[in-house]
């Protein structure tokens, strides 16, 4: 099928390449000329495992092209909208400028029978408003929220755990059938394909992210209680996680969630609920947000306390900058936030990360960056693990760290290290919510 993908960021570039990889003819469109130039060469403009391979295959096959020219969308049967919906600068609501601009820019190139499939995460009610404009052209609007996880985005796009398509108005059944065809390989495997109305589809996405954020903040709240009682939150998580109704995943206490989705999505959800007169229904999300942010304070405090009450002029090795491993995304990264705060306390902070240094340097040029993990640790007074890359969590032994520095303070912001092993090697180990 001929498809267009408007917006070629973390979501859109992967979507375009993944759709080409399953046999569609895809044009990716973005206003960012630099990104389009890189993508057109078959290169990934950001770190995402497996993306360079499907990009270069798609380009070589002739089925995948990229352009800044919206006119190229003309002739496609389905037009995916994957532009950003960041938090507004002066409030919690989502900034819909880009979604509106993308849809309005696309309208002149739509033909009757085309389908516009929104993938961006939007406040409930957005799709119904956009539908009026889209349907005036004879095209149909559906909402097809995206659940991909950065780091697993290619796999999640080609083989998602569910597909959700919100439809409305005339021709709605036909539109869902076309989406079923687009995702034929996943549908053939029996992937749940859930057809809803527009509002439900929009809400499924924000509800899923609200739930995940709540689960993380729940265990982090337990970490706070563990810290004043001497309990160990990792054992607590293991024990409650055996209950299949609870489950162990997303119960990792640490410095909390970040990234381009969870923080802004729960805030936009709160803002939208308030607009709808139902602010109290999701008032707990404010608490979820606050618990999350408090954990960054805690990590900083553990370093400062461990250094005897002041981080001034101390060399601190910060392991990680990305908001999570397998990504170079530093949007709202707790790891970088901790690094910036320690820098603000007068520490000599060196940050390392296998993928995110360039992005981090652009946003926080005041920090020192070092590609080598070992050079980062060398002669550090304290080491803090803030992004659980295997290079730090699994591969770094306390014996090796001891060979690099005489500093013997390690703060494990992700509870990813073997506390007993680090202590046995003479380190003062501090985890999150652990004695
Ligand atoms: P991003 O910032 O990486 O990409 C957005 C892209 O849209 C940019 O390349 C930008 O140049 C482009 N753009 C902006 N205005 C445009 C226009 N008028 N026409 C064409 N292109 C335009 O953002 P992202 O992480 O890819 O997120 C996009 C959306 O997907 C957001 O709503 C986000 O919440 C949602 N989402 C993201 C993820 C994720 O893991 N990144 C997962 C699920 C859902």
Other CB atoms within 10 Å distance of the CB of residue 68: 14
Rounded Cα distance, 127 and 366, in Å: 41
List pLDDT tens digits, range 128-184.
999 999 999 999 999 999 999 999 999 999 999 999 999 996 656 799 999 999 999
Task: Indicate whether 337 pLDDT > 70.
Answer: yes
Is 261 one of the annotated active-site residues of the chain?
yes
What tokens were used for 102?
């993308």
Q: Which of 117, 141, 261, 282 is catalytic?
A: 261
Q: Residue 228 contacts by C-beta under 8 Å, 6 or more apart in sequence?
A: none
Phi, psi of 333 (to 5 degrees): -80, 120
Phi-psi region of 29 (alpha: psi -120 to 50; beta: other; left: phi over 0): beta
In angstroms, rounded to a whole number, what is the distance separating the alpha carbons of residues 5 and 115? 12
Round to whole Å and give the CA distance between 236 and 238. 5
Would you give the DSSP letter of residue 92? S
Q: Fold identical between 2-191 and 232-435?
A: yes
User: Mean pLDDT score of the chain, rounded to an integer?
Assistant: 97
Atom of ligand 1 minimally distant from the CA of 32: 11
> Which residues have CB under 6 Å of ligand 1?
6-12, 29-32, 35, 82-85, 98, 101-102, 105, 120-121, 146, 148, 150, 260-261
> How many A from CA of 374 to the centre of ligand 1?
35
Q: How far apart are the first and last CA of the chain?
A: 57
- Name the region of 250 (left: φ>0; alpha: ψ -120 to 50; beta: rest): left
Q: Could you tell me the fold of the domain covering 2-191?
A: Rossmann fold (3.40.50)
Give the sheet arrangement for strand 25-29, strand by strand: 64-67, 25-29, 2-6, 78-81, 115-118, 140-143, 163-167, 193-197
Contact 240, 230 (CB under 8 A): no
Contacts of 1 (CB under 8 A, 6+ apart): 24, 25, 77, 78, 178, 181, 182
Instruction: Give, using CA atoms, the residue closest to atom 17 of ligand 1.
Output: 102
- Determine contact, residues 399/422, Cβ cutoff 8 Å: no
Cα of 401 vs its chain's centroid, Å: 30
How many degrees, rounded to 5, is the angle at CA 67 between CA 64 and CA 68? 155
CATH number for the domain whose boundaries are 232-435? 3.40.50.720
pLDDT 10s digits, 223-232: 999 999 999 9
C-alpha 8: how far from chain center: 15
DSSP state of 276: T
The reported pLDDT for the residue numbered 173 is 72
Cα 11 to middle of ligand 1, angstroms? 6
Residues in the chain: 435
Give the Cα separation of 335 and 21 in Å (integer): 34
pLDDT digits (tens, 9 = 90+) for 386-400: 999 999 999 999 999
Please give the model's pTM, rounded to 2 decimal places: 0.96
pLDDT at 244 over 80: yes
pLDDT at 198 over 80: yes
Burial (Cβ within 10 Å: 0-12, 13-18, ≥19) of residue 84? buried
Query: What is the structure's pLDDT at 170?
Result: 63
Give pLDDT tens digits for 260-307: 999 999 999 999 999 999 999 999 999 999 999 999 999 999 999 999
Question: What's the gap in Å between 106 CA and the centre of ligand 1?
Answer: 16
In terms of Cα–Cα distance, which of 44, 30, 123 is closest to 82?
Answer: 30
pLDDT of 383:
98
pLDDT band of residue 79 (cuts 50, 70, 90) is very high
Closest residue to atom 44 of ligand 1, CA basis: 146
Q: Which of 38, 28, 25 is nearest to 8 (CA)?
A: 28
Q: Which residue has the tokens 């040029």?
A: 365
Q: Where are the domains of the chain?
A: 2-191, 232-435
Gap between the Cα atoms of 221 and 54, Å rounded = 41
């Amino acid at each position: 099928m001929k498809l267009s993908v408007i917006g070629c960021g973390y979501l859109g570039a992967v979507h375009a390449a993944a759709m080409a990889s399953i046999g569609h003819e895809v044009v990716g469109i973005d206003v960012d000329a630099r990104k389009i130039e890189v993508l057109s060469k078959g290169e990934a403009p950001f770190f995402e495992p497996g993306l360079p391979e499907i990009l270069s295959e798609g380009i070589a096959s002739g089925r995948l092209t990229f352009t800044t020219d919206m006119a190229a969308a003309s002739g496609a049967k389905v037009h995916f909208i994957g532009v950003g919906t960041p938090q507004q600068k002066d409030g919690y609501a989502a900034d819909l400028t880009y979604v509106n601009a993308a849809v309005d820019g696309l309208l002149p190139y739509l033909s009757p029978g085309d389908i516009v499939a929104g993938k961006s995460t939007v406040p409930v009610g957005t799709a119904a408003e956009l539908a009026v404009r889209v349907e005036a052209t004879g095209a149909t609007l559906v909402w097809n929220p995206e659940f991909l996880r950065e780091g697993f985005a290619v796999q999640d796009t080609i083989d998602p755990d569910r597909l959700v398509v919100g439809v409305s108005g005339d021709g709605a059944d036909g539109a869902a059938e076309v989406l079923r065809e687009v995702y034929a390989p996943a549908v053939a495997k029996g992937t749940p394909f859930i057809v809803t109305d527009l509002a439900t589809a929009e809400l499924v996405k924000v509800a899923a992210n609200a739930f995940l954020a709540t689960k993380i903040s729940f265990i982090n709240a337990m970490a706070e209680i563990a810290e004043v009682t001497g309990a160990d939150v990792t054992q607590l998580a293991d024990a409650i996680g055996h209950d299949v109704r609870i489950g162990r995943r997303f119960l990792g206490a640490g410095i909390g969630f970040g990234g381009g989705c969870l923080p802004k999505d729960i805030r936009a959800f709160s803002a939208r609920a308030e607009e709808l007169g139902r602010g109290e229904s999701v008032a707990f999300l404010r608490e979820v947000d606050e618990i999350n942010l408090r954990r960054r304070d805690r990590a900083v405090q553990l370093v400062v306390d461990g250094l005897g009450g002041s981080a001034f002029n101390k060399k601190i090795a910060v392991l990680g900058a990305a908001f999570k491993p397998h990504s170079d995304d530093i949007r709202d990264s707790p790891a970088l936030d901790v690094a910036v705060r320690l820098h603000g306390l007068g520490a000599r902070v060196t940050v390392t990360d296998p993928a995110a240094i360039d992005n981090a340097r652009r946003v926080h040029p005041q920090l020192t960056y070092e590609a080598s993990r070992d050079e980062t640790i060398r002669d550090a007074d304290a080491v803090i693990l803030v992004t659980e890359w295997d290079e730090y969590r699994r591969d770094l032994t306390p014996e090796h760290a001891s060979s690099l520095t005489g500093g013997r303070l390690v703060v494990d912001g992700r509870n990813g290290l073997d506390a007993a092993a680090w202590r046995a090697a003479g380190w003062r180990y501090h985890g999150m919510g652990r004695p």
